[in-house]
Each structure stands twice: as structure tokens, then as C-alpha cells.
Amino acid sequence: MKKYDENKSNRSKKSKHRLFKPRKKRNSEEDSAIQYLQGQYEQIVPENIDTFKDFPLSQKTLKGLKDNNYVKPTDIQRQAIGYALKGNDILGAAKTGSGKTLAFLIPILEQLFCKKWTRLDGVGALVISPTRELAYQIYEILRKIGQYHDFSAGLIIGGQNLKFEKKRMDQINILICTPGRLLQHMDENPLFDCSSLQILVLDEADRCLDMGFETTMNAIIENLPPKRQTLLFSATQTKSVKDLARLSLSFPTYIAPHEQTETVTPDSLQQSYIVCKVDEKVGILWSFIKNHLKQKVLVFMATCKQVKFMYELCCKLRPGVSLLALYGTLHQEKRERIYQEFCRKSNVVLFATDLASRGLDFPKINWVIQYDCPENVETYIHRAGRTARGFLGKGDGLLMLLPNEEIFVDDLRKSKIPINKISVDPSKVISPQRKIEALLSDNIELKQTAQRAFVSYLKSVFLMKNKDLFNVQLLDTDAYAKSLGLIIPPRIRFLQKLQVKNMFMNKLKEKDNVVEKLNSKFNAKTESDEFISEDEQVSNIPKMKTKKEQKTDANFNFHNFDDSEEEDFLHVKEKNVQLELIPLEIPKENKKKAKPVTKAAVAKKILKKKIKVNTTTKFTDDGEIIEDEKRDVKSELAKQFLSEDVGGLDIERAKEVLQEEDKFDKLRFREKVKAKHKEQKRKLKHKRMEEEGEKDDFGSQSESDGPDLSWLPDPNKVYDTGDHSDQHESDSEIIENRQKVINTDSEERYHRPTKRKLVVNRGISQDSVKPRKIKKVEDISAALTVDEAEALAMQLLYNKK
């Protein structure tokens, strides 16, 4: 599967989006063929169509169909293709596995062919699917039947390389996508352009249009050109006027070839149900798997966490058949691999959520088990419809119901779904409970998975819209936990909170009764002191919490049941689940009171409190406020602008003001830079001066690294101190200091360079000292007589001693 392998897909970038053979030059022959085909559209009579050749289709499409063994059209194809070729909007409703995919893919190819669509024309057709797997499946069928056409097709689904998709968006003619990813491209990708869109198709249209996708779909539809052909297909088609209005369908043709049939599910689908207790489910499923090792089985469960647990548990229990699990929280690559594997294998069990319930055409499934009761009849139809597909497909469906869920069978029968009750032979049920307990005690991770599965199932039941059918209070939670191998049932926080709330609300109810009694008392009495005190008593209670307020609060507080781990679960079900607490119903007038908190309301509140929003106050370390200079305006224009108290914002004026302010900012900036440079220079100078004082000739800056000058004669002794200049004084001081330091580190001395050199470079060279002394002696001696000189010499010698 090229598209699903990211590495492969990168390697074969060209082949991926050039799905069909290179485009040949259109010639006049093709023009006349197109004209002929278009001329035939009005004469299509569905009843007269036996094979695809009877439709006025291009040779390229016919060849593609023939190559893939599509010879005779199915009912929905026979009826829908003709209308679609004529350019009508269509609402197509036909049973699961009845060939709806070709019913919209053939018209797409033909429409673009007749319009001589080229790569340069951009996106001509858009097919939206609710799941990635279904989008992939449609894309693969399009590749097969459209192989002789010269269009490019692209699969745009989440979990893929967005960058890779983005770059190629402008080359795509037929786009198969999921709603989220499509909107992402519409929002972020400048190369995405669907202004010339001709056909929009929604496969599983009712699902695409339901609450779960509502906002996304609305945004997508807004971005599409209104002048287009729209085709909607599903086994449970929407007839909602609101939906049709959203899509601005123009007089759509409703095509439902099976509307008059006795059943809404495929005739070759054998459907049955069993009723069992919640704690018997695991044992029954396990026994079923063990008894159907040579079959292809698809098991639907309510939540991702249940699927994960059941899959991991069964893997550990080793039933002797391949096991797979498919659910939304899996990584995309894994999802692809599992989808492929389940398509390929024949003896395999796949545990899945409703992710796999829509549209997927897994070949030759023998059994579809609905382990948990589906939330409505539509979901049942789609789940069961994964088997018994196509012309020859046969299959069995088994629905597992809890005793209180048996009423669902009535709904099914009312909806023309034939289903029979069967019973399970208890002797054939092998409960692996002991084994599960042992496994869980050994494996903490599996135990945690079990706990999560347990809670997620209870939550799913709790969140179901149909409260007559789903009642979490009726579940024997302890027994259910035990059946999952959990000896100690996990804490069900959301249920506990609910119970506490109920208790609290019951108490408040009682208080309300008191209030009512007191109120009636109040009405009966005349004004008196006694009344006043009672009135206080009365008014206090409802002020704290009235019954109505309590109920409203409870409704809001639902969101506080945030079992963070379970949050993703909340997305499993459709978003149209109306959250309401089981035991109490909220009267309409109360709902009105619980006004939604809008941004405007919050803003008003803030204004009332006179809180300045978006302001920053800086403080010094001492707690004094620092005025933010940056915010001060400098220019006259800005001052004038701020002083004008005019509502709204004059963009042009603001621009001018900003430009004016900009000039001051630039000046300020320049000054700052100058000051910075000045400071840097000053620092550098300072540093240099310091270095001058410290550095020796070898770059050593350390005091201890200084030269050993101990050998030098003491200049003070040599010179007469009174005659010395300042310079000499300071020099000798330095030398003395150095001597002191060096003498403390006797070892270092041996490694010092020659002392002479060092001193020379410090400007107090040995030469400069000794010769001076000699010179002085010479000078003096020159002025003396021989006797005087002799006497001086003698004195000097005496002194030396």
C-alpha cells in the first residue's frame, strides 16, 4: 500500500500523485466522443441498464471497470450514475456493501473527462470521508478504475506528512480526504485552491454532517464554491433539512433503491443477539473466539481502552488465532499496518471501536460481534454491515446485550432489522477469570489497562444519550471488575462524585421544602416581629442554594469529573451527547438561567470592576512602582491622538501616530547605542590600565606569577631617598611588593625567566640602577681631590662593613 508507507511514499513521490498514465493530446476524436456521450445522458433509463457498457461512459472508465471485474452495476449504481452524469445533486441511500463507492467515483471521472480537466485546472472533485481508513479505501478504488484517465488524485488524511502533502496540493485534481485534514490545508496551505471545484461528495454523509464534525464541515463548506454538484451517500442517509440547507443542495434527487425492501440490512446477513450479565461478557467472548479459530471475526467495543485491554489480555491468554486491535488513539502507522493485516488475513480476530464501523470493506468477514450495545440503530447497521458485503458476501452478526438493554431489539425491529434471540450454552462457556487474575497480578501494566478499560466502559454508558437504554446505576460494577480480573474494583470517581452530588441535592430538596413551608407560613401571617425573623431565615436558605440553582450547578460541574486519563474517551462518542445527570431533569426555565459565559459578559464584568486589563506594572526591589517609559508617547501627534476620546479605531490615523512615534524611538535607540559604546570604551580603558599594572612581559596577570627581584639591591638604600622623583618611588614600591609575593612562593622562582630581562621591561632595569650608582660615585669623585677621594673611598668601605 504505497500511500500508507511514508518511506516508500517518499521514494516514489512521482508515482504517488501521478496515478494515471501521462496525458495524451486531446484530439478532435476525443471531442466528438465527449459530445456523443453528453448527448446520451438524457436517454439513460436505469431499468434498461444491464452492464456498465450500457451507460454512456468513456472508454477509459469502461476499461478501468473491466480490468477490475466490475461488469454489472449494482442497484444504487444503476440508479445514481445516470442522474449524477446529468449534473444533479444526489442523496443516495443504499444498504451497506451495495457498491455506493462506484456510484460516485464513476460520475467524478466522467464529469472531469467531459470537461477536459487537466492537471493545471486544480481540484475538480472532492470526496470527504469520516475516517482515514475509509478515505484510503476510496482512494485505492479510484486508482484502480481511473488508471486509464489522465487526472491526478491525492489522499489527504491526518497522521501523514503534512509538508509533503502541502507541496503537492496544487497538482491534485481529485482529492480524497478527511474533514480535519482538509480544513487544515484550507487554513494553512497557500497552494490549496478549490475555487474551480465541480463535484463535492460526502461518503457516509450523515456521519460527516453530524455533531462530531459540525464545525469543521461548516468551515469547509464555507470555503467551497456554491456552484457545484453535490453527492451524498450513506446506508443511513440524512434527510435533515438543516443538513441539506447547510450544503445548499439544489433540488437533490433522492435515490434509495432499497427503500421498499423488507429489511435495511443486507439479505445475506444473519443477525442474532444474546442477553447476558455484564460480568459474563468476557467469558462469552473468549469462548466464542476459541470456538471460531478458523474464522475472520470483527469485535466492536465501546471505547479505545476496552479494545486495548481485551486485545492485550487475549494475546496473553493465547487463543490460537491471530489477534489485532484498531482504535483511534493508535499511531497512524500502526493503524495502517493493522488495517492491511486484517484485510489480508482470513483467520483473525480484530478488536475495534466504531472507527471501523463506517464504510470499510474488509474482505470476507465471517462474524461481526457487537460486544457493547451500540448507541443507536444507525451505528448497529454500520457495524453489522462490515460483513455480508457485495454481490456474494455472506456473514453473521452477533449483538451482546445486558438485560436492561434488550429493549434495543424493539428499536432494531421497528427499523426493519431482522434479528433473532439466541442463547448461549453455559456448558460451553469457559471463563478465563482465574487466569486473568493471575495475569493481572503478575503484570502491573495489564492491571492498569484493565482498570482504565473498566472506568472507560462505565463512563461510556454514563455518557450515552439514550438514558432509557443505558443506565450506569444498573450495572453490577463489582462483578464486572471481577470479570476483568480486578479483585478490588477500581474507584469510579465520576460516579462517586455523582452520588455525593445527588445526596447533597436531595438534602437541598428537603431544605427547599422547608423554604416552601416557611413561605406559605409567611403568606398566611400578617406583619409582625415574628415574621421578620422568619423572613430572614427563609431568605437565607434560598440565597445559599435554591433547588433550581443546584440543578444548574450540577449540570455545569459535570465538567469537573475530569478523570484526566479518561478524557480522550470523551471524544470517542459523538459530540452531540447532551450531558445531563441521571436522577434529575433540568426544567427548561432553569436552563435559561444558566446563561453561557460569553467573552462579552466577562469583559463587561471587568469594566464594571474598573480593572485595567493588559497593563504591566514593574516594581523595584524596594517595592516602588517603576513607570514604564516605553509606553510614554513623545510626539505631539500621539499625545493629541491619545487625548481624543473617540470610540473605534482609525487605522490610518493610528498608523501616522505610530510612524511619528517611530522617529522618537529611533532617536532613543541611537542614544542608547551611543551610551553603550561609550561605556564599553570606558570599561576597556579601565581594563587596559589595570592590565598595565599587573601584566608581566609574558602575559602573566597573576600577582604570584611576578618576577623574583630579590637579587636587586634595595633602591632606597642605594639612592638617597630625598632626591627621588615620584616615578622612581612608585617603581621601587612595585618591585618591593613583587619581592614580597614571590618570596612566599619559593618553588615558583625556579621556573621564572631571567630576572634581568623582566626588570628591564618594567623600566627599572638593572642597568638603569647600577650604572647610575656608579655614575654618581664617578661624578662625586671627579669633583674631589685625590686625598678627599681617598677619604671618601675609605668611608664607603667602612660603611659597607
Angle at which helix 132-145 crosses helix 59-67, to 10 degrees, equals 110
- Say how far apart CA 53 and CA 72 lie, in whole Å: 9
Give me the least distance between CB of 31 and ligand ADP, in Å please: 29
Give, in order, the Cα–Cα distances in Å from 43 to each of 34, 36, 48, 77, 748.
15, 12, 10, 16, 112
Chosen from ligand ADP, Mg ion, none, partner binding at 96 (C-beta under 5 to 8 Å by type) = ligand ADP
Q: Which residues contact 778 (CB under 8 A, 6 or more apart)?
A: none
**Torsion (CA) 185, 187, 188, 194 in degrees, nearest 10:** 50
Is residue 358 close enough to count as binding Mg ion by CB under 5 A? no
Is residue 389 close enough to count as binding ligand ADP by CB under 6 A? yes
C-beta of 76 vs 764, nearer to Mg ion: 76
CA 126 to chain centre: 24
Choose the binding region for Mg ion from 56-64, 354-362, 646-654, 720-728 (rule: CB under 5 A).
354-362
- Say how far apart CA 420 and CA 418 lie, in whole Å: 7
Give me the least distance between CB of 566 and ligand ADP, in Å please: 33
Site residues for ligand ADP, 392-451, by CB under 6 A, read none
Choose the binding region for ligand ADP from 65-73, 117-125, 219-227, 549-557 (rule: CB under 6 A).
65-73
Give me the least distance between CB of 213 and ligand ADP, in Å please: 19
**Contact (Cβ atoms closer than 8 angstroms) between residue 148 and residue 20:** yes
Choose the binding region for ligand ADP from 73-81, 372-380, 649-657, 741-749 (rule: CB under 6 A).
73-81
Choose which of 279, 280, 361, 375 interacts with ligand ADP (CB under 6 A): 361
Is residue 447 close enough to count as binding Mg ion by CB under 5 A? no
Q: Which residues contact 74 (CB under 8 A, 6 or more apart)?
A: 94, 98, 99, 102, 103, 391
C-alpha cell at 211: 455533531
β-bridge pairing 348-352 and 395-401: unpaired
Sheet holding 296-300, edge to edge: 322-326, 348-352, 296-300, 367-370, 395-401, 269-275, 420-421
76, with CB counted inside 10 A (0-12, 13-18, 19+), is buried
Give me the least distance between CB of 495 and Mg ion, in Å please: 39
Is residue 305 close enough to count as binding Mg ion by CB under 5 A? no
- Say how far apart CA 309 and CA 315 lie, in whole Å: 10
Give me the least distance between CB of 73 and ligand ADP, in Å please: 5
Choose which of 61, 79, 88, 96 interacts with ligand ADP (CB under 6 A): 96
C-beta of 223 vs 253, nearer to ligand ADP: 253
**Contact (Cβ atoms closer than 8 angstroms) between residue 463 and residue 558:** no
Choose the binding region for ligand ADP from 97-105, 143-151, 238-246, 570-578 (rule: CB under 6 A).
97-105
The DSSP secondary structure of 357-371, one letter per residue, reads TSS---TT--EEEES
Choose the binding region for Mg ion from 81-89, 100-108, 683-691, 769-777 (rule: CB under 5 A).
100-108
Choose the binding region for ligand ADP from 384-392, 745-753, 762-770, 773-781 (rule: CB under 6 A).
384-392
- Say how far apart CA 367 and CA 384 lie, in whole Å: 9
Identify the CA nearest to 390 among candidates 364, 416, 418: 364
Question: Can you tell me which residue has the cell 492485550?
Answer: 312
- Say how far apart CA 353 and CA 580 lie, in whole Å: 24
Choose the binding region for Mg ion from 6-14, 92-100, 175-183, 481-489 (rule: CB under 5 A).
92-100
C-alpha cell at 106: 464513476
What number of chain residues touch ligand ADP (CB under 6 A)? 18
C-alpha cell at 607: 469594566
Question: Can you tell me which residue has the cell 616615578?
Answer: 727
- State residue 409 phi and psi, 5-degree precision: -60, -35
Site residues for ligand ADP, 99-118, by CB under 6 A, read 99-102
**Contact (Cβ atoms closer than 8 angstroms) between residue 618 and residue 626:** yes
Choose which of 97, 124, 257, 707 interacts with ligand ADP (CB under 6 A): 97
Chosen from ligand ADP, Mg ion, none, partner binding at 390 (C-beta under 5 to 8 Å by type) = ligand ADP
β-bridge pairing 625-626 and 618-619: antiparallel
Choose the binding region for ligand ADP from 169-177, 385-393, 630-638, 724-732 (rule: CB under 6 A).
385-393
- How many residues in total does the chain contain? 801
C-beta of 94 vs 142, nearer to ligand ADP: 94
Choose which of 82, 146, 319, 359 interacts with Mg ion (CB under 5 A): 359
What burial letters (b/e) apply to 43-66, b meaning 16+ CB within 10 Å?
ebebeebeebeebbbbebbbebbe
C-beta of 52 vs 367, nearer to ligand ADP: 52
Choose the binding region for ligand ADP from 94-102, 282-290, 708-716, 751-759 (rule: CB under 6 A).
94-102
Give me the least distance between CB of 489 and ligand ADP, in Å please: 41
- Say how far apart CA 233 and CA 90 lie, in whole Å: 8
What number of chain residues touch Mg ion (CB under 5 A)? 2
C-alpha cell at 90: 444526489
Give me the least distance between CB of 78 and ligand ADP, in Å please: 9
- State residue 396 phi and psi, 5-degree precision: -120, 145
DSSP 264: S
C-beta of 359 vs 432, nearer to Mg ion: 359
Is residue 100 close enough to count as binding Mg ion by CB under 5 A? yes
C-beta of 99 vs 432, nearer to ligand ADP: 99
Give me the least distance between CB of 75 and Mg ion, in Å please: 14
Chosen from ligand ADP, Mg ion, none, partner binding at 88 (C-beta under 5 to 8 Å by type) = none
Give, in order, the Cα–Cα distances in Å from 634 to each of 25, 365, 510.
68, 78, 67
Give me the least distance between CB of 75 and ligand ADP, in Å please: 10
Is residue 97 close enough to count as binding Mg ion by CB under 5 A? no
Give me the least distance between CB of 363 and ligand ADP, in Å please: 7
Is residue 395 close enough to count as binding Mg ion by CB under 5 A? no
Choose which of 73, 107, 124, 397 interacts with ligand ADP (CB under 6 A): 73
Which residue's CB comes closest to Mg ion?
A: 359
C-beta of 94 vs 495, nearer to ligand ADP: 94
Give me the least distance between CB of 268 and ligand ADP, in Å please: 12
Chosen from Mg ion, ligand ADP, none, partner binding at 391 (C-beta under 5 to 8 Å by type) = ligand ADP
C-beta of 360 vs 498, nearer to Mg ion: 360
Binding track, positions 760-779, relative to ligand ADP; x by CB under 6 A: --------------------
Is residue 561 close enough to count as binding ligand ADP by CB under 6 A? no
- Say how far apart CA 303 and CA 569 lie, in whole Å: 7
C-alpha cell at 193: 485552491
**Contact (Cβ atoms closer than 8 angstroms) between residue 249 and residue 89:** yes
C-beta of 80 vs 197, nearer to ligand ADP: 80
C-beta of 82 vs 359, nearer to Mg ion: 359
Using CB under 6 A as the criterion, which residues of the chain lie in contact with ligand ADP when the complex forms? 70, 72-74, 77, 94, 96-102, 359, 361, 389-391
Using CB under 5 A as the criterion, which residues of the chain lie in contact with Mg ion when the complex forms? 100, 359
